[in-house]
Amino acid sequence: MIMRVVANTLLLAAATSTLPGTGLAAALSPPAYPSEEALGHYLQGRLLEERGDSEQALNEFYRALLLDFHASEVARRVSEVSARMGEAQRSLEFADRALALDPDDSRSLWLKGAALFNLGRAQESLEFLRAAVDHDSSQVEYLRTLARVGEHVDRVDLVARAYERIVDLEDDDGEAWFQLAAARARLGEVAAAGRALAQAVELNPLRPGVFFLQGWVEEGLGHPRQAIDLYRRHLEIHATDQVTRRRLVGLLARQGRYAEAYREARVVSQARPEDPEARELEADLAFRAGQPTEGKALVEKLERQAAEDPERLERVIGILSRNGRGRTAVAVADVWSDRHPSDARSPLLAARARAMAGETEAAIPFALKAVDTLPDSLAPRVLLARLYQGRDRFGDAEQVWKDAAGKFPDRLELILDLALCREKLGDIDGAEQSVREALRREPENPTVLNFLGYLLADHNRRLDEALGMIRRAVEKDPDNGAFVDSMGWVYYRLGRLQDARKELERAVNLTGGDAVVHEHLGDVYKDLRLLDLARDQYRKSLARDAANNRVRTKLSGIR
């Protein structure tokens, strides 16, 4: 007996020299280990575990559990060793056993969440991983697992939250800073992404993907030249990254650099010959780059490929319409309809072709027919309402939006469209009533909060309430340019010009120079008597929206 105690003491000393002390300290407490023999098997298992002999370690843990069925620490060890061996089902079984004994143990919660994820039950695992982090947010491994599962189920908010905490705990972890920056960028929180990325680059300037993420941030901040240069630097290293190349194509096209965009689009489509979207982009840019022969050949090929698919054919029609070939686009739609006279989608295709070609009045009868042939589809109703609005028939549009909102009550955006239509009719009370109904359904929806706040501010109604709503929206999405514009606008209405200037200057960058935001900032500069700056903003607004006579009048009125 004396020799056995000595052996256990020596074993304990050996184990504690290499293993974390907390679990062993708990194991030595009398209530947790009433059996000396169980303790011996547990410690022997820990020693074998450290030596890398997982199978023998498990055998010792099993013996300990036979002698002390209520030893939650031993059940946790079995779960953890099983997880390392790739035995997810066994890991889950013993994590459940540990939780039955100690329901609030953070490590057991983490083990169960990880096991569920490894068994393909990712959504279910989130409950236990979040609980583990709630019980102990100091464990980086819990946070990394939560981030991994959040990524898997597309919960980018959880990914960002997890990495935010990781960098709080380990501020020299360059990879965590990079992942935080990527998550913030995907959430549209561009300024926060830039700050995190700066930390990542400082810690690891050679990290693959840095140039791409820097480009993404610069693009979000409204700096297209810098973004283009950074994307190209990334592609010099990762020439086969067609996702980044496609992003570069889009940015070049938005800057009017069509020849460069077309060259890059050809590389994408050559790398992805079976990707119809790549071919469509190449065709569109061929026309814009002044290569009509190539564009026509590509369109003809796309037409043949879309022979039985009106949705793909509609995209081809869009290419033709955007490039001054509206009548050809309508003819393509009519040929398809003639070939498919009994297809319920034919009227919708014909209506859309005419709408894209600018033949709004001619499109309306086809849209009305599409509503009849596709009674359970939302798309024809949305198209019909927008066509009516395009002809300033807001009364007709209002009825369509109202009917659509009644038929599709779960589509909150229809209520907002109805509100916009009523505002155009001059029915501000009706518009407000619609948005308040949307807010009643989703009181924390930032888009709805911003919508109502802006509506009130734009019509000088209950400005304090408007400010509160917009502030709540901005708190939920601080880098949303539309929300920041609303904040600036309500400050302007309140006469807080310096606050308005600060917010609207930021909104210009966040939106990449939206015409309305330029107009709002011009109004602020004008009232601050910064007339040269006001003129510049009005001119920028007109460059984006040349038909805005209201802005033109403001510009001409500055003396």
Phi/psi zone of residue 530: left (φ > 0), alpha (ψ -120 to 50 degrees), beta?
beta
Q: Residue 14: pLDDT band by 50, 70, 90 thresholds?
A: very low
* Cα–Cα distance for residue pair 172/154, rounded to 1 Å: 26
How do residues 520-548 score in pLDDT, each as one tens digit? 999 999 999 999 999 999 999 999 888 89
Residue 162 falls inside a structural domain: no
Say if residue 424's pLDDT is above 60.
yes
Q: Is the pTM for the entire model greater than 0.75?
A: no
Name the DSSP letter for residue 222.
Answer: T
pLDDT, position 434: 93
- Arithmetic mean of pLDDT over the chain: 89
Residue 127 falls inside a structural domain: no
Average pLDDT (496-515) is 91
Residue 106 falls inside a structural domain: no
Residue 365 falls inside a structural domain: yes
Specify whether 492 is located in the same domain as 430. Answer: no
Residue 81 falls inside a structural domain: no
DSSP string, 396-452: HHHHHHHHHHHH-TT-HHHHHHHHHHHHHTT-HHHHHHHHHHHHHH-TT-HHHHHHH
Say if residue 3's pLDDT is above 80.
no
pLDDT, position 100: 93
pLDDT, position 130: 95
Specify whether 458 is located in the same domain as 436. Answer: no
* Cα–Cα distance for residue pair 421/399, rounded to 1 Å: 10
* Cα–Cα distance for residue pair 556/559, rounded to 1 Å: 8
Specify whether 385 is located in the same domain as 323. Answer: yes
Specify whether 424 is located in the same domain as 471. Answer: no
Enumerate long-range contacts of 304-313, CB under 8 Å, 24 or more apart.
305/276, 306/276, 310/336, 310/340, 310/343, 310/345, 310/346, 310/348, 310/349, 312/276, 313/349
* Cα–Cα distance for residue pair 510/487, rounded to 1 Å: 13
Specify whether 517 is located in the same domain as 458. Answer: yes
Specify whether 452 is located in the same domain as 556. Answer: yes
Say if residue 348's pLDDT is above 80.
yes
* Cα–Cα distance for residue pair 163/137, rounded to 1 Å: 11
Specify whether 535 is located in the same domain as 463. Answer: yes
Q: Residue 64: pLDDT band by 50, 70, 90 thresholds?
A: confident
Q: Residues 6 or more apart from 140 whose CB is under 8 A from it?
A: 166, 169, 170
pLDDT, position 15: 34
Query: Among the three residues 414, 443, 472, which one is the final residue of a domain in this structure?
Result: 443
Specify whether 454 is located in the same domain as 541. Answer: yes
Specify whether 459 is located in the same domain as 512. Answer: yes
DSSP string, 114-147: HHHHHTT-HHHHHHHHHHHHHH-TT-HHHHHHHH
Q: Which of 337, 352, 349 has its CA nearest to residue 390?
A: 352
Q: Residue 34: pLDDT band by 50, 70, 90 thresholds?
A: low
CB 255 within 8 A of CB 223: no
Count: domains in the chain: 3
Say if residue 77's pLDDT is above 70.
yes
Domain membership of residue 436 as a residue range:
398-443
Domain of 515, CATH number, reads 1.25.40.10
Specify whether 460 is located in the same domain as 554. Answer: yes
pLDDT, position 67: 81
Residue 36 falls inside a structural domain: no
pLDDT, position 345: 92
Specify whether 472 is located in the same domain as 427. Answer: no
Q: Among all chains, which residue has been given the structure tokens 């184990």?
A: 15
Residue 359 falls inside a structural domain: yes
Specify whether 414 is located in the same domain as 456. Answer: no
Which position has the higher pLDDT, 25 or 318?
318
Residue 485 falls inside a structural domain: yes
* Cα–Cα distance for residue pair 125/113, rounded to 1 Å: 4
